[in-house]
Structure 1
Amino acid sequence: MTDVEAATVLVRTENSLGRITLNRPRAINALDLSMIEQVIAALTAWVDDSDIQTVLIDGEGDRGLCAGGDVRALYDEITAGRPEQISDFFRAEYAMNALIAEYPKPIVVFADGITMGGGIGLAGHAAVRIVTERSRLAMPETRIGFTPDVGGTWLLGRAPGRLGEYFGLTGQSMNGADAIYLGFADHFVPSENLDALREALAYRADPATPNEMTLLFDETPDPSTLPEARAWIDDVFSAASLGEIVQRLEESDAPDAAATLATLRELAPTGLAVTLDAVREAREMTGIRPALEGEYRRVMWFGNHHPDLVEGIRAQLVDKDRQPKWQPATIAELSADPGADARAYVPEVPLF
């Protein structure tokens, strides 16, 4: 194995372009703590490097930019009783998310293929966010009894209407056109043109900005179906509580309502309730850092005080029996304010 094959993050420069490539293609470039630290180190080094004008983040392989954080490693830390390791991972990841969002130079991200969970934290906060015909974006955390993070609540809270609640709760994936409509991406570029765009970003002086450069390669995707679905989604997911959302789904005659209801009934009631609370809290915030702090409270509460996260990872990724035993088991058993404990949790180590 060569050094390049062994490196989990490839960092190099191409003329005025600083390039960061996630290099775990067999794991669809899932993030571990070392990878996050390498990304932070590269971005930090380039802040004051006058030779670097633009940064590009992409992923090795053709399966995706990043499938998310390494949740199996998270499971191992929790079950081994090492909560401090959980804190280290999330604080580093959220510092990376904030650095990308606030970076003084334009960051371009190719969200080609699977871009989920932690991958959204890399792609969703960049200055120029590019999707392709292969893109599949999602915040699927509720499917393991968890809640969206990495600034995902900030993005979900700003999606049109109540689509943020819908995608946050169900974990549904978006195609490229959906991602642009939702505000998770800016441009649609066919995957066959990504190499040419990268070359242009590195070597062409005109147009002057990465956004204008991308427009040379931008194409119009097939339209998203989300605008047509907005009426029933907004009606259902504007309900005040998770229980009322379920009731409205039961009463809805929308074509996708029954499937959405079935999805919610399979997922962890606590994770759903905490996610609904988090997205609505983030909608009222003024910046990504407060949203990350809200997420940090919630993920640390799950990591330290609620069994559903471990159970969800066990059922999906460890034993793979797909038969999680949630606590409580049904939405009807939730308390009157089921998001309260996670919302109010104060981690031992602050985020920032």
Structure 2
Amino acid sequence: MAQEGRNIDEQVVVGEQKGSVEWAILKRTRQLNTTASEEVLKLAEDLETWEKDDKTKLIVTQSAGDDVQMFYDGQFSSLNDIYTMYWLCYHIHTYKKTQVAIVDGICNFGSASLMFAMKFSVVTEKIDFATLEASLGFHTDCGFSYIHSRLPGHLGEFLALTGTRLNGKELVAVGMATHFVPSAKLVDLVARLWSLDSGDMDVVRSTIEEFSEKVELDKDSILNKLSIIDKCCSKESVKQIIQEFEAEGSKEGNEWVTPIMGFLKQSSPTGLKINLRSIREGRKQTLAECLKKEFRVSVNILRGTISNDAYEGARALTIDKDNRPGWNPATLDEVDDEKINLVFLPLEDDIELRIPETEDNRWGGKYET
């Protein structure tokens, strides 16, 4: 099911089928006018078709190349584009058939939400994952207020606030990925998955386990610092969290705190406060509630409801690349907590994200906006 009208080297979602297995290969496009929204919609259409097709038993999604950030590299051109992304996230989390994601490179932003939401997520030593939104004046979205809020202790707040990177072993250790498979074994794993004529969870799991390895954390893994992370990130406010990290960083042997402090102090003060609140609210919210909240926050941020930091972050870090964002407000003390409330307020009724409430309309509502 390849995309019509494009050379296969220029496609971003390349669909292949063999027996009862459907394969979606995500590739970085060379076609400059290809937008992220087109690819999100294409993947959504394929997933809907496969879920409804009785012959399809297993769906495998694989990243190709060094980077699967394509969903955020393009500019979302309309509210409907953003809506479709959140709508797709819900359907991947709740997909009715067995899915396997294979990630062998950089996986950040929206692409991570698509890959880690699948029933099986296979990662390698080449994966590089982080939630960097605070550094861009944005928030951890696309279901990550749900995912991060369910990580051990206060690790979710830590990742959302500090942009700390996790490798493949660490992702498996915290439960964000299900299996660690060395990159050299992927060819053989792919061949075995292609040969399956089953979507049975136990069969797929045992097949992956033929190639996966037991995870042992490196000595310098950030996950070995969870007691300090929990102590710092359990504090009530961003300011108190930073103060606690400063205190820990002054102690001998805690040099690892230095880059953490650097990220926190360079990030958008408004973005940091929004992220902390969103993750903590996520602990008490369902997946649907998290996505609805995140959609509201995204729309209000992009409307500039309380700040234009998201646009300033994009300018400084991805467009002009001067790495000197001019945040406004510039400090945590200047960020009015009452104004933070405004980005969490409901939108107009005809704009709100509508999650399917019954099986009959599960794949409806794509174009509600």
TM-score by length of 1: 0.90
* Equivalent in the alignment of 1:300: 299
Question: Could you tell me which amino acid in structure 2 is paired with residue 11 of structure 1?
Answer: G
2:30 and 2:317 map into 1 onto residues whose CA distance is 18
* Equivalent in the alignment of 1:215: 209
Report the CA distance shift for 1:117/1:92 in structure 2 as closer, same or farther (over 3 A).
Answer: same
Partner of residue 26 from structure 2, selected from 12, 22, 25? 22
* Equivalent in the alignment of 1:59: 63
Report the CA distance shift for 1:310/1:95 in structure 2 as closer, same or farther (over 3 A).
Answer: same
Structure 2: gaps (5+ residues): 355-369
* Equivalent in the alignment of 2:264: 264
8 Å Cα contact 1:265/1:330 also seen in 2 = no
Deviation at 1:153, TM superposition (A): 1.2
Q: For the aligned residues, what is the CA RMSD?
A: 2.1
* Equivalent in the alignment of 2:275: 275
1:7 and 1:49 map into 2 onto residues whose CA distance is 24
2:59 and 2:197 map into 1 onto residues whose CA distance is 15
Structure 1: gaps (5+ residues): 78-84
8 Å Cα contact 1:274/1:338 also seen in 2 = no
* Equivalent in the alignment of 1:81: none
Question: Could you tell me which amino acid in structure 2 is paired with residue 24 of structure 1?
Answer: R
TM-score by length of 2: 0.86
Report the CA distance shift for 1:157/1:26 in structure 2 as closer, same or farther (over 3 A).
Answer: farther
Question: Could you tell me which amino acid in structure 1 is paired with residue 106 of structure 2?
Answer: I
* Equivalent in the alignment of 1:247: 243
Question: Which residues of 2 match residues 231-242 of structure 1 at below 5 A?
Answer: 231-242=227-238
1:7 aligns with 2:11: yes
1:26 and 1:138 map into 2 onto residues whose CA distance is 24
Question: Which residues of 2 match residues 145-294 of structure 1 at below 5 A?
Answer: 145-204=137-196, 209-224=203-218, 225-252=221-248, 253=251, 254-285=254-285, 287-294=286-293
Moved more, 333-342 or 135-144: 333-342
1:128 and 1:109 map into 2 onto residues whose CA distance is 6
Question: Could you tell me which amino acid in structure 1 is paired with residue 231 of structure 2?
Answer: D
1:177 and 1:227 map into 2 onto residues whose CA distance is 10
Question: Could you tell me which amino acid in structure 2 is paired with residue 267 of structure 1?
Answer: S
* Equivalent in the alignment of 2:334: 333
1:101-127 CA-partner distances (Å, limit 9, x unpaired): 111111100121101111111111100
8 Å Cα contact 1:151/1:291 also seen in 2 = yes
Question: Which residues of 2 match residues 37-52 of structure 1 at below 5 A?
Answer: 37-52=41-56
Report the CA distance shift for 1:89/1:32 in structure 2 as closer, same or farther (over 3 A).
Answer: same
* Equivalent in the alignment of 1:113: 105
Deviation at 1:40, TM superposition (A): 0.7
Report the CA distance shift for 1:37/1:296 in structure 2 as closer, same or farther (over 3 A).
Answer: same
1:258 and 1:196 map into 2 onto residues whose CA distance is 41
Report the secondary structure of 1:320's partner residue: coil
Report the secondary structure of 2:316's partner residue: helix
Report the secondary structure of 1:199's partner residue: helix
Report the secondary structure of 2:188's partner residue: helix
1:169 and 1:115 map into 2 onto residues whose CA distance is 18
Deviation at 1:243, TM superposition (A): 1.1
- Aligned residue pair count: 337
8 Å Cα contact 1:72/1:313 also seen in 2 = no
* Equivalent in the alignment of 2:360: none
1:345 and 1:141 map into 2 onto residues whose CA distance is 22
Report the secondary structure of 2:121's partner residue: strand
8 Å Cα contact 1:9/1:38 also seen in 2 = yes
Report the CA distance shift for 1:338/1:269 in structure 2 as closer, same or farther (over 3 A).
Answer: farther
Deviation at 1:68, TM superposition (A): 5.1
1:317 and 1:45 map into 2 onto residues whose CA distance is 35
Report the secondary structure of 1:165's partner residue: helix
Report the secondary structure of 1:346's partner residue: coil
Report the secondary structure of 1:47's partner residue: helix
Report the secondary structure of 2:289's partner residue: helix
Deviation at 1:2, TM superposition (A): 6.4
1:337 and 1:177 map into 2 onto residues whose CA distance is 40
Report the secondary structure of 2:303's partner residue: helix
8 Å Cα contact 2:21/2:196 also seen in 1 = no
1:198-240 CA-partner distances (Å, limit 9, x unpaired): 2212213588621221111111244152442011100000000
Deviation at 1:25, TM superposition (A): 5.4
8 Å Cα contact 1:142/1:267 also seen in 2 = yes
Report the secondary structure of 1:69's partner residue: helix
8 Å Cα contact 1:128/1:186 also seen in 2 = yes
8 Å Cα contact 2:25/2:63 also seen in 1 = yes
Report the CA distance shift for 1:131/1:273 in structure 2 as closer, same or farther (over 3 A).
Answer: same
Deviation at 1:72, TM superposition (A): 5.2
Report the CA distance shift for 1:337/1:176 in structure 2 as closer, same or farther (over 3 A).
Answer: farther
Report the CA distance shift for 1:113/1:25 in structure 2 as closer, same or farther (over 3 A).
Answer: farther
Deviation at 1:69, TM superposition (A): 2.8
